Structure 1
Amino acid sequence: MSGRLDLAFAADGDGRSYLQRQYAGYPFHVCRVHYYDREHPGLATLYVQSCSGGIYEHDRLDVTLATAQGAEAHVSTQAATVVHSMPSGSAAQRVRVQCEGGSYLEYLPDPQILFPGSRFRSVIAVTLGGDAVALVSDSFLCHDPAGRGEMFSAYFSEIAIEDDSGKSLAIDRLKMGGQAFSDSCPGISGRFKAQGTMIVAGLDLSANAVAGELRKIRLDGDVAIIGSSLLPNSAGLLVRVLAADGAALKLALHQVWCAARVQLKGSMPLERRK
């Protein structure tokens, strides 16, 4: 199955962001725009739902998210996405994030749940104009419903950042097999069965200040750990999270998001319900 989602946000004369353009083909469904943040009443929040019950073998999904100058948006999914077992093939999703100067976008989907035998490729390409800022995340957790110690087959993740001239600024790639998370390889992932990446991308932000805010986060090291690195070409900050399970991963990523929002926008995001 091939599915396409195309969303574009713009700001009206009062600085309130709205969904200027939308196309949602199966399996995507777009909910109405919400405005949750009291401190930033013009920031649009949008949830994207799936009508298919997950990602299946041979699925090819294509997503485009764009923000015009002055637009501010938070885009997420309704819940974690199941990546089903795949006897012989694979599935892939490509996300294009295009931010004009003076815009702000958070693309923070819930994790992928990798079933035994699944093969999934995730690529997120971020294009930044001027002083635009984009927060993007990609995360997953292992799930073995039968309890037989089976793991996913392959997972590939790439997040690439470029400026509006097409110059490549930073690329983060992960490629791994499920054996890295099995109990037979304790030295690789240890007790952690879930992993997440969040990138705070921007050419005109203080990545060190964001990193300093992250250092205020306090987590039980047996449940989750957080590390960060400055991106090359002053493109922002990369944050990696390792967690024991999906609940710990979600909590840690939420705290990373809150820390970044405080530094970037001056206030905590209002709690969202899903």
Structure 2
Amino acid sequence: MNNATASDAARLDLSFVRRADRTVIDRRMFAWPFVLTRSFHVDPDRPDCLSVIVQTASGAVHGEDSLAQRLMLGPGTAVCLTNQGATSVHRADPTVRAVETVRLDVASSASLEYLPEPRILFPDAALSQTIELDCATDAYALIFDAFTMHDPCGGARYFRELESTFCLRRSGGEPLLMERTRLFRPDRRIFCGYGAFGSVFIVLPPAHDLRKLQGKLTAALERIKGLYGAVSASPAQAGLAIRLAALDLRYLRQAFENIKPIYREAIVDQLRSENLSATG
């Protein structure tokens, strides 16, 4: 359904609940350019997990766009959300920039994989994006954020501005992690030859062995040629943060594909341990 008016900021507003051992959508609201079609239960390791693909009618982010998303995961739900492909961010007039805000609320025992495809920043693009994640203490989250650059003329023209903020809270408390990045009219020298960049945030309950998980992730990233990666613990033992720089987008995608199964393995192992404790 679409209840937004033309004057509203474009939005996607989804709420998820657990019913009959599966996650389903119980509220879906979207306004142009967002489009939401059928969702699926396709994960053999997590049959309760709902896979959602968000599409955009415009296929790109334009100079004066104002985009807002909210995902609310109820207790015990499991959601994997991605979009239809890498999103182009086109040039903006000198006095404007596109704005995107994403709010993610993950309730007790829920798990969220928020896996948008990378942004492709065209010459003179300007984008300000914010991701706010509020994750219950016993919940899980995997958040991807990435961008690359493209000059259709084959030159070395870059975007005008990129401002990115990630904020992590646990159970509505004070921010545990606040990461901000701002690049304004970047010079090619600051990229040191790399062409694609990404951040990954893994949020886990306190019971997990972060050092062991950090070692697995580091080993997986070291095997990828054309990639520089660093894995560090988040404040208050809330999880792990990963920074990535790649020669081009294919190496960044490979890194994401290596990170995802390690994160899922951590969830499955924890669920098995909890089930054994409950039956024992």
What secondary structure is seen at the aligned counterpart in 2 of 1:216? helix
Of 190, 193, 201, the match for 1:191: 193
Match of 1:234 in 2: 237
Give structure 2 stretches of 5+ with no counterpart.
1-6, 271-280
Alpha-carbon contact 1:196-1:253 (below 8 Å) kept: no
Letter in 2 for 1:80: A
Asked if 1:23 is matched to 2:29, the reply is yes
Q: Which moved more, 1:249-258 or 1:51-60?
A: 249-258
Q: Distance in 2 between matches of 1:177 and 1:96?
A: 25
Deviations 1:68-87 (A, max 9, x none): 11100100111011000112
Q: Give the superposed CA RMSD.
A: 1.8
Structure 1's consecutive aligned runs of 4 or more residues displaced over 4 angstroms after TM superposition are 218-222
Q: Distance in 2 between matches of 1:265 and 1:9?
A: 21
What secondary structure is seen at the aligned counterpart in 2 of 1:249? helix
Letter in 1 for 2:198: G
Superposed, 1:1-274 pairs within 5 Å as 2-13=9-20, 15-88=21-94, 89-180=96-187, 182=188, 185=189, 188-204=190-206, 205-219=208-222, 223-266=226-269
Structure label with greater radius of gyration? 2
Match of 2:278 in 1: none
What is the percentage of aligned positions where both structures have the same residue?
Answer: 27
Q: Distance in 2 between matches of 1:128 and 1:206?
A: 18
Q: Distance in 1 between matches of 2:234 and 2:221?
A: 23
Q: Distance in 2 between matches of 1:218 and 1:175?
A: 25
Q: Distance in 2 between matches of 1:264 and 1:249?
A: 23
Alpha-carbon contact 1:138-1:157 (below 8 Å) kept: no
Letter in 1 for 2:219: K
Q: Distance in 1 between matches of 2:161 and 2:216?
A: 34
Deviations 1:169-211 (A, max 9, x none): 111111113524x2xx1xx321211100010013434332321
Q: Distance in 2 between matches of 1:80 and 1:96?
A: 20
Give structure 1 stretches of 5+ with no counterpart.
268-274
Alpha-carbon contact 2:224-2:251 (below 8 Å) kept: no
Q: How many aligned residue pairs are there?
A: 261
Deviations 1:6-59 (A, max 9, x none): 01111113x211111111110001121111211211111000001012000111
Q: Distance in 1 between matches of 2:249 and 2:91?
A: 18
What secondary structure is seen at the aligned counterpart in 2 of 1:195? strand
Q: Which moved more, 1:202-211 or 1:70-79?
A: 202-211
Deviations 1:96-117 (A, max 9, x none): 0001111001101000000000
Q: Distance in 1 between matches of 2:224 and 2:135?
A: 34
Q: Which moved more, 1:234-243 or 1:158-167?
A: 158-167
Give the 3 Å change call, closer, same or farther, for CA 264–208 of structure 1 in structure 2. farther
Letter in 2 for 1:73: V
Q: Distance in 2 between matches of 1:213 and 1:83?
A: 34
Q: Distance in 2 between matches of 1:195 and 1:37?
A: 28
Match of 1:270 in 2: none
Q: Distance in 2 between matches of 1:197 and 1:9?
A: 26
Alpha-carbon contact 1:151-1:179 (below 8 Å) kept: yes
Give the 3 Å change call, closer, same or farther, for CA 118–263 of structure 1 in structure 2. same
